[in-house]
């Protein structure tokens, strides 16, 4: 993989991890267009890029994450402790799917453009419905956290936007838009770090001198782009501008499906 390909994939991951258009789907489309075919290098780059966007999330929400960690170990039934439990609860569905259906999930990636296109249409529909929902000031409760977690598990499918699915689900449940975006971004950090650790500790992935530079460049591109996209996305959700991303998903999803069938 060349440096230009690494930069492009980094920018794609950084933008689409936070913008509700499916990072996994766009990475698959980008790899197909760039003709990046080495399976091990593909997997390693994907892990590195997800680590970069996880780090950008941690950087932006460092105060919130500090409060969550402190609240979790205080063992007092206060707001911080309850929020920590809600984050943990939201992780359970995706963690279950990732642990017990890992092989089935991996088969969905790697050039499944028709699937990506179809799931992008579903993402667009979710965003369109959420954009029309009434604004409220409701917080995330425990039942909401579990439902949002289920939507995150479904978003493992390439083409279903994780942030789009979780934020749309939150808004449709009547949760305040800014709180929905904050919860959506925070709930994925432990999952990304856990998946990254599992892949590294498995020993199946190794870095050599020829891949180190592209991985580093891709990481930096994803991290910097992620910082911008995360802050931008919070403003967009707050201002009810999800419909524009819905239109984008309809267009890209439709083109992907047509290109596959021709």
Position 122 scores a pLDDT of 93
Q: Rounded to an integer, what distance in angstroms lies between the CA atom of residue 199 and that of residue 105?
A: 14
Which residues make Cβ contacts (< 8 Å) with residue 73, sequence separation at least 6? Answer: none
CA angle 186, 225, 45 (to 5 degrees): 85
Radius of gyration for the chain, computed over Cα atoms and rounded to the nearest angstrom: 18
* Contact status, residue 226 vs residue 17, Cβ threshold 8 Å: yes
What residue spans define the domains of the chain? 3-261
Long-range contacts of 108-113 (CB under 8 A, 24+ apart): 108/157, 108/158, 109/24, 109/28, 109/158, 110/28, 110/39, 110/42, 111/28, 111/32, 112/28, 112/158, 113/28, 113/29, 113/32, 113/256, 113/259, 113/260
Closest CA to 178 of 51, 26, 61: 61
CA distances from 228 to 13, 16, 17, 118, 147 (A): 12, 11, 11, 28, 28
Give the predicted TM-score (pTM) of the model.
0.81
Q: Rounded to an integer, what distance in angstroms lies between the CA atom of residue 116 and that of residue 219?
A: 24
Position 165 scores a pLDDT of 92
Residue-wise pLDDT tens for the chain (262 aa)? Answer: 678 888 998 898 888 888 888 777 777 778 778 776 555 556 778 788 888 988 898 899 888 888 878 877 777 788 888 888 999 999 999 888 878 887 777 776 666 788 888 999 999 999 999 888 888 888 899 999 999 999 999 988 888 888 889 999 999 999 988 888 889 888 888 877 777 777 667 665 566 666 788 889 999 999 999 999 888 888 888 777 788 889 999 999 999 899 888 7
Check residue 138 and report its DSSP letter: B
Which residues make Cβ contacts (< 8 Å) with residue 11, sequence separation at least 6? Answer: 221, 222, 225
Position 205 scores a pLDDT of 58
């Amino acid at each position: 993989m060349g440096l230009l390909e690494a930069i492009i994939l980094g920018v794609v991951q950084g933008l689409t991890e936070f913008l509700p258009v499916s990072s996994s789907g766009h990475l698959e489309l980008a790899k197909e267009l760039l003709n990046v075919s080495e399976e091990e290098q593909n997997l390693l780059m994907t892990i590195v890029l997800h680590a970069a966007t996880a780090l950008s999330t941690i950087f932006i929400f460092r105060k919130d994450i500090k409060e969550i960690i402190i609240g979790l170990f205080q063992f007092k039934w206060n707001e911080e402790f309850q929020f920590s439990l809600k984050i943990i609860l939201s992780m359970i569905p995706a963690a279950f799917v990732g642990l017990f259906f890992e092989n089935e999930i991996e088969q969905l990636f790697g050039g499944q453009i028709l699937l990506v296109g179809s799931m992008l249409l579903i993402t667009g529909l979710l965003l369109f419905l959420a954009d029309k929902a009434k604004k409220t000031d409701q917080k995330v409760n425990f039942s909401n956290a579990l439902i949002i977690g289920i939507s995150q598990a479904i978003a493992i499918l390439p083409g279903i936007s994780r942030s789009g699915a979780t934020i749309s689900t939150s808004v449709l449940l009547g949760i305040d838009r800014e709180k929905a975006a904050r919860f959506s971004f925070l709930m994925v950090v432990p999952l990304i770090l856990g998946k990254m650790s599992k892949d590294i500790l498995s020993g199946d992935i190794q870095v050599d001198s020829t891949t180190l530079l592209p991985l580093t460049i891709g990481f930096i591109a994803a991290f910097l782009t992620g910082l911008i996209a995360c802050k931008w996305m919070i403003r967009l959700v707050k201002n009810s501008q999800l419909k524009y991303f819905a239109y984008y998903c309809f267009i890209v999803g439709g083109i992907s499906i047509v290109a596959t069938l021709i």
